[in-house]
Structure 1
């Protein structure tokens, strides 16, 4: 290192003694050389010697805590429909819920996602009146409903539709996400559930990030069956008037909600058929395969597929499940029976006109009041009497002339629909109302509709 330094000093000396100009620059050059020498000795640390590479044996390598797992199941296959809300500008994509969709398909459940995806992500908006009509129509046929991260509020009328659906036994899944739309409470609070603002985090134990939390404490429930460890990646807390299903440890906190008690990212309402989840990301691939996440998804799918909702007359024709027999009170009604069969076939309902009902099949009976004796026992179950007057449990007695009744009842697991009228014209009118949906205008109870045609207006039917 000194040889190059001597060369530099020698060069400066020769330059200084060689000319007058050189002598003028001698002093600045010597100062620069001195600075260089001092800096060289202060900052120079020699050459870099890399450390010895450690040899790690294969058997010493351990996988991270959030290892991917393989989950398989053989669920019971059944029929049913899951409707997923996408008409409230819901902030999710179909790709994010593909694991849930796959689990529902494994159970034979059809999935109908309402709304149109937006090119910017999520779903497009729909005006309130169209939303209500769409939701009302879909819930008539659904066994379960899933609402995920809506960014537009539910109206009072829409909340009423969903509440009525739940009261009939329909299953409701509510999924919130603290980083997405906060309008889910406009529906969840109808059932005593509140999704809290802010996300949960744990700085002591997490999956590479403080907001990727582990949940290991669960309350006994079919939804938590078989769970040991679940990873949530953007979870929020839920407050519920019903039972909590999972709770966090003492090192997990909320960014907004203060408290030292455990937080609940999974809960049910007071109604057993309403489930709330405070995170969507746990089911988004590849996070769905972390720890027991896929098992939780399967349990949620089983919750949705196990709906035992009841149907009302207004839900026609979706209460027919499997084969249905169309039985006529007399041969002159054959054309009406064939027309009703065509109507049902549009809804993929297998109906056949038969001379008599088959055990186990649903039944549709078309006849005149004089044919009521053929279904007298079913009318008796419904509290309907046909004679000189028509007597029903939910309306004043009516004159048989110029009218029709439509009755639905469930007997031994079968749906029995009976349509009776004074004459062929009135019966055809009642059948047309079933076809067009106008029968809903004359429903007087959950199971009975009464059509009255004044004699003066018969020519206008």
Structure 2
């Protein structure tokens, strides 16, 4: 019985396998011809055109070129992504500095030392006072480069406990800065389905306006770019009819880079082209070199409120006429030394400094003959003597009525071929000490000024007495930063 059950079990195990094998078995396979395979050696991978970085060319950087990179507005980029551009700036003598939200110095303070500002992919709006500072900076000749990118937005959550979020595009934050310059960055991206750099959002641009910024450019590649509009600016780089905007799926002279504000503000709709390896695609390397030249060309005029950043090297104090370097005056100057120390600048006193030296000149209104070389271009009428257009004790500033010189001190900033001269003029040594104190403490609450000039109430005078002296609106009250 047991044997029979064992044989039956083996049969149930073997017979089904044998039947399946015989049913599906079709004999031994013999390959009669080789299996055809693709000719891999003949394949070519489509690659974008590459440009080779050129040796740094001679470039005339403005004296003391100082590029400030903003990272205080939730900027969505890494410093390494700007490395090709900032390396070009540094190679030609420019100084690069980053401003983060944790830094003690405000944007207004740091702009005083800068000649150019770079804002990349901001995700936090600019406050009104910041916009005013930047607008004044551009008005004085500073350069601003704004880089936006459709891929650099950040999620905005409806509430702390909510999982619902909406994307916040960097164009919204950038537009809070660009409104005074009549530039608008669209919340879109450009794309081209016919010709692109491997992806429909990687657009190749070949249309350029005539400008030093577009010199020697034949084609640049942008990797997702906003379109930019400006009724008064120059469309520096613009797309062909096959490049469309994602907002309307329409094309037609869409600008990807705009130059405005007397060629001092440049806005670009892409940031990725700066980062390796994209910086070597098409003519991007040459384009980046041109951008470095743009940043290095900024040379804003300086105001007394920019002290100590008006100087880029050692400073010499020179007293004119019969002014005596008293103990009180030297003590006041020591406070200026502390301010200059923060910028790494030395302060010395000399009766006859070199003609090329940066100087702080101290003088009274009585030193008219010695002051004459330092007043060129300011159109200032000093207190005159009998027979002069101005009577004794009267002071005339451009756009002002006649002032009482005994109640007013002047600060004048002049730059000439890299040399900066700050001239302080008062009725006497006590007035000069008040002017020095205002500089050292950066307290210009008693001053009114215009480009390169600050007039400060000294002695018993007050700001209202100066304000009453206006003949037009050329002068504005100073609050420590606005010239």
Q: Distance in 2 between matches of 1:73 and 1:296?
A: 13
Equivalences for residues 153-164 of structure 1 within 5 A: 153-164=125-136
1:146 Cα shift?
A: 0.9
Which structure ranks higher in relative contact order (CA pairs < 8 Å, sequence separation ≥ 6)? Answer: 2
Summarize the Cα distance change of 1:158–1:452 in structure 2 as closer, same or farther, 3 Å threshold.
same
Structure 2: runs of 5+ lacking an equivalent: 154-169, 385-391, 463-483
Match of 1:237 in 2: 227
The alignment status of 1:207 with 2:212, answered yes or no, reads no
Larger Rg: 1
Q: Distance in 1 between matches of 2:312 and 2:400?
A: 29
Q: Note if contact 1:238-1:267 (Cα within 8 Å) is conserved in structure 2.
A: yes
Q: Deviations over 1:59-108 (max 9, x none)?
A: x9787234463432223264311111111111111111111110110121
Summarize the Cα distance change of 1:201–1:357 in structure 2 as closer, same or farther, 3 Å threshold.
same
The alignment status of 1:137 with 2:132, answered yes or no, reads no
* Partner SS for 2:423: strand
Summarize the Cα distance change of 1:85–1:257 in structure 2 as closer, same or farther, 3 Å threshold.
farther
Q: Please, which of 145, 152, 160 is the counterpart of residue 124 of structure 2?
A: 152
Q: Distance in 2 between matches of 1:229 and 1:302?
A: 19
Summarize the Cα distance change of 1:89–1:26 in structure 2 as closer, same or farther, 3 Å threshold.
same
Summarize the Cα distance change of 1:222–1:38 in structure 2 as closer, same or farther, 3 Å threshold.
farther
Normalized per residue, the structure richer in helix is 1
Match of 1:452 in 2: 458
Q: Deviations over 1:206-235 (max 9, x none)?
A: 333222222222222111111122222222
Q: Deviations over 1:316-369 (max 9, x none)?
A: 232334565422134631653563772464234455422235434444221334
Q: Distance in 1 between matches of 2:244 and 2:255?
A: 11
Q: Deviations over 1:7-51 (max 9, x none)?
A: xxxxxxxxxxx9799999999x9999877767666xx99769543
Q: Note if contact 2:446-2:456 (Cα within 8 Å) is conserved in structure 1.
A: no
Q: Distance in 2 between matches of 1:322 and 1:408?
A: 18
Equivalences for residues 31-110 of structure 1 within 5 A: 49-51=34-36, 54=39, 56=41, 64-67=47-50, 69-76=52-59, 78=61, 79-110=64-95
Match of 1:166 in 2: 138
The TM-score normalised by the length of structure 2 is: 0.75
Q: Deviations over 1:129-168 (max 9, x none)?
A: x99x711111112111111111111122211111111111
Q: Note if contact 2:395-2:405 (Cα within 8 Å) is conserved in structure 1.
A: no
Q: Please, which of 248, 257, 267 is the counterpart of residue 248 of structure 2?
A: 257
Q: Distance in 1 between matches of 2:211 and 2:372?
A: 45
Q: Please, which of 447, 453, 472 is the counterpart of residue 442 of structure 1?
A: 447
Q: Give the number of aligned pairs.
A: 422
Equivalences for residues 299-318 of structure 1 within 5 A: 299-318=290-309
Q: Distance in 2 between matches of 1:331 and 1:162?
A: 39
Q: Note if contact 1:341-1:352 (Cα within 8 Å) is conserved in structure 2.
A: no
Summarize the Cα distance change of 1:263–1:428 in structure 2 as closer, same or farther, 3 Å threshold.
same
Q: Distance in 1 between matches of 2:283 and 2:149?
A: 20
Structure 1: runs of 5+ lacking an equivalent: 1-17, 116-124, 457-461
Q: Distance in 1 between matches of 2:127 and 2:30?
A: 74
Summarize the Cα distance change of 1:163–1:61 in structure 2 as closer, same or farther, 3 Å threshold.
same
1:55 Cα shift?
A: 7.9
Between 295-304 and 229-238, report the one with greater CA deviation. Answer: 229-238
Q: Note if contact 2:302-2:413 (Cα within 8 Å) is conserved in structure 1.
A: no
